Amino acid sequence: MPPSNKFLNILDRVGMNDMDTREKIMEFFKSRGKAGDLAYDTDLFKGGYVNSLFALEMVVFLEETFRIKIKNKDINEKNFRTIDSITAVVERSIQGKV
C-alpha cells in the first residue's frame, strides 16, 4: 500500500525531522553570533540570547525557513524560552498546516 498523499505532502514540504529543525534553529543563533555556550535547553531569556528585535527576526526566520505561520498566541516566553521549545512550536505549526 503506497503512503498517503497527506504523508507525502508533509515529507515534500518539510523534508526534515526534529533533529534537523533543532539544528537549523541553532545555526540561526550561531549565524547571529548568539551561540556562545548555548545548548538546546538553555533559557534564552535568562541567558540574554534574545531581545525584542531579535525575537521578531527569529519569527521571520522560522516562518520563511519552515514555510509556516506562527500564530500570535504562540509567540510567548514559554514557547520561545529554549531551542527545544521553539522546535516544538515549529513542529506543531507544521502539523497544523497539513
pLDDT in tens, 26-81: 999 999 888 788 999 999 999 999 888 898 999 999 999 999 999 999 999 999 99
What does the domain layout of the chain look like in residue ranges? 5-97
What is the rounded distance in angstroms from the CA atom of residue 25 to the CA atom of residue 83? 7
Return the axis-axis angle of helices 18-31 and 83-97, rounded to nearest 10°.
130
Q: Is 60 exceeded by the pLDDT of residue 15?
A: no
CATH number of 5-97: 1.10.1200.10
pLDDT of residue 28: 94
Count of positions (residues) in the chain: 98
Q: What's the whole-model pTM score?
A: 0.77
pLDDT of residue 19: 59
pLDDT for the residue numbered 35: 79
